[in-house]
A and B are shown apart, each in its own frame.
Chain A
Amino acid sequence: MSAAAREMGPGEWREQTSSLGMWVFLATEVMFFGAVFLAYLYLRTQYPDAVSEASRHTHEWMGTMNTAILLTSSFSMALAVRFSQIAKRQTVQRLLWVTAALGAAFLALKLTEYTMEWHEGLVPGLHFTIARNARVTQLFFFLYFLATGVHAVHLAIGVATVLWMSWRLRKPPFPDWRADEIDVLGLYWHFVDAIWIFLYPLFYLVSLQA
């Protein structure tokens, strides 16, 4: 038994170990997205007016809706983590269903948005038809699709894992290490939410002033 385990007791040690692992992983994720944010910062500071103009092609209502959906999904995820700590298996399971459903709704809306953007000719390299301010608009949407696409992949992984977890909770028992797993899953979910919280103003809210 390690010194930390002796100090904390096995239950807390396990919980602290898994959440430390997840936080280290999230530090990695911060840097993974960080590279895109730096590219964005370059574009925005180098061509402020052109980026403003390019951003008007985004669908701010859909982005706002999705932000609300994702924030709410984090709420239900946080509640799921809370109830897992007092071993309310059925409540946790229902909350996980809600979380996954909201995540899926986000993805569905995002996909609709991508389809619209395809038809509007906003996809750089594949279907791009905007003539005005074409160069920076292409780069803006290059970063938009990359950042939101990588985010969507993360969210899809989150939805799949939450569904799998809630399926495993369909019948008792509810061992106490299950709560650690749900806690770690929650950290991941909230992180994906936090990334979107930054993507939303950076891509949708640049230039809405009349």
Chain B
Amino acid sequence: MSVIAATGQPSYLEEGFSLWSWITTRDHKRIAILYMVAITAFFFIGGAAAAMIRLELVTPRGDLVTADTYNKLFTVHGVVMVWFFLIPSIPATLGNFLIPLMIGAREVAFPRLNILSWYIYVLGGIFVIYTLIAGGVDTGWTFYTPFSTLFSNTHVVLAVMGVFVVGFSSILTGLNFIVTVHRMRAPGMTWFRMPLFVWANYATSIIMVLATPVLAMTLVLLALERVLRVGIFDPALGGDPLLFQHLFWFYSHPAVYIMVLPAMGVVSEIITCFARKRIFGYKFMCYAILGIAGFGFLVWGHHMFVSGQSMYAGMVFSALSFMVAVPSAIKVFNWTATLYKGSIAFTAPMLYALGFVGLFTVGGMTGLYLAAIALDVHLTDTYFVIAHFHYIMVGGSVMAYLGGIHYWWPKVTGRMYNEAWGRVAALIIFAGFNLTFFPQYILGYLGMPRRYHEYPPEFQVLNILSSAGASILAVGYLLPLVYLGWSLFKGPHAPPNPWDARGLEWKTSSPPPKDNFVETPAVDPVPYSYSPEVKPA
């Protein structure tokens, strides 16, 4: 597959074909591919656990797996999907590939640190896979104390080590992106000419750098307490289990924004391109990104309304949580306004992006229910919460990730995927997703708690619907693997700019040469110049 670009330079894929040339690379584009392979493997491990969960829940009795196994299944599903798929998904793959291209740079600021972060990710992954082989862990992905420290007799320390290690991979990625955006922008690439994808990843990087270390130290405290049987979370010694929750959610709530902000960046790129219209309210979008990242640090206590946290703190956290809705709504309105009177092409990436907007809105709105203390008391730890955050993380982040993969697939691989199959898969995923998770809102509202392998028979119809949806979703997730894989060998060669898109990444060949650009590209004075500016009458 020799793709000699118009530039006459070999592409980054042709800079060496040996395994060695890949695992010792410092090229941000190759590192992106390494990440893509690794997180796809973990996505299917986490997905397999989810499939087992849904299979168990087809019947009200626990007849497929034991309660203990069920606990391990949802824990593995959570740990793998959160830390080994969603957190690195868009930043480490698309972000790594695109940020230098989009700002007109030849590389990231610290190329060696970049490959190191991938190795750290793999090391963390080995811990988690070893945990699975050794017999699993049953605490739930939240590792709540004192269960995780004093009672659980599964491999908590191993699992916690894996999460501790992988955290440093996202810290290093974040550090690299921050410095890259500050120092590597091409002449003319001012802050307010940067693509929103870069803005989103910049804000995400700030969260990664500031929140992840808190989780790391919290897990150290947890592991030591488990090993030594003495620790600050132990109420018998005068410690406070809620301190664990404060520290854990100080990371894990902003982590939601680590997952969804880059997704918003992807969606902004896709919608403006396939609506053939300039993004509406570009600067507001930038401020909204920063606003979401900032407010994201102030709301963690809404995970603790029924934990015994002070009522007054609960009220403060509730009010702050409502405020996150403002910048989020600005973004949804601006995407909608971008679509208004656009000439919309319903390509596969666009279907994912439109799916994102709808599902994120549903997930966000139900988030407001959960931010209201009185309602949250009723809904805490029910399937309503499960449905809510899956609408954000799967309906939001995974949809956007897949949309982004399709949108930039020609750039990354130099090949076009099959558009018809792309659209079919996007529609299957959208339908399967809603069938899986919408019934869970109802189940939760009716009172079905999360994390049980059995349930009263009257919940069975909705559970069967959900499991049926999950099987459709599974087909939808396997399809891209097939036709994208096929396109690698048989797909037509991609031109440099197949979508007639704006942005510097389209101004180089597909796939780009090792140094991205033959000469530093000229920056558009106006970002997203798809349509002539419409002046108000």
Contact = CB atoms under 8 A, between A and B. Distances in A.
A and B touch in the complex (CB under 8 A): yes
Interface of A: 1-6, 13, 16-17, 20-21, 24-25, 27-29, 31-36, 38-39, 42-43, 46-47, 50, 124-126, 128, 135-136, 138-139, 142-143, 146, 150
B184 interface: yes
A16 B183 contact: yes
B179 A20 contact: yes
B458 to A, nearest CB: 44
A24 B230 contact: no
B232 A35 contact: no
Interface string B153-181: 00000000000000000010001001100
Contacts of A150: 220
Contacts of B210: 27-28, 31
Given A25-B175, A28-B209, A2 B187 contact: yes
A24 B218 contact: no
Interface of B is mostly: helix
A139 B238 contact: yes
A2 B105 contact: yes
Interface string B428-454: 000000000000000000000000000
A35 B217 contact: yes
A77 B110 CA distance: 25
Interface in B184-240: 184-189, 209-214, 216-218, 220-221, 224, 227-232, 236-240
A125 B227 contact: yes
Contacts of A139: 230-232, 237-239
B182 interface: yes
Find the residue from A2, A20, A36, A38 having the highest chain B CB count within 10 A: A2
A36 B352 CA distance: 42
B143 to A, nearest CB: 14
B304 to A, nearest CB: 15
Interface residues of B, number: 43
Contacts of B185: 2-4
Contact of B230 (A2, A28, A138): A138
A135 B237 contact: yes
B120 interface: no
A3 B230 contact: no
21 contacts: A2-B187, A17-B183, A20-B179, A20-B183, A24-B209, A28-B210, A32-B213, A32-B217, A38-B243, A38-B246, A38-B247, A39-B221, A39-B247, A46-B240, A47-B238, A125-B230, A138-B237, A139-B231, A139-B239, A142-B231, A150-B220
A39 B220 contact: no
A1 B232 contact: no
B520 interface: yes
Given A2-B183, A43-B238, 12 more contacts: A2-B184, A2-B187, A3-B188, A4-B185, A21-B179, A24-B178, A27-B209, A34-B217, A125-B230, A142-B231, A143-B232, A146-B220
Contact of B184 (A4, A27, A36, A50): A4
B109 interface: yes
Interface in B234-266: 236-240, 243, 246-247
A20 B214 contact: no
B238 A135 contact: yes
Contacts of A135: 236-238
B171 A28 contact: yes
Contacts of A42: 232, 240, 243
Contacts of A33: 217
A107 to B, nearest CB: 20
Nearest to B220: A146
B213 A29 contact: yes
A132 to B, nearest CB: 15
Nearest to A24: B175
A17 B182 CA distance: 9
B365 to A, nearest CB: 32
Given A35-B218, A139-B230, A142-B231, A20 B213 contact: no
A31 B110 CA distance: 22
Nearest to B177: A24
A174 B250 CA distance: 45
Contacts of A13: 183
A37 to B, nearest CB: 10
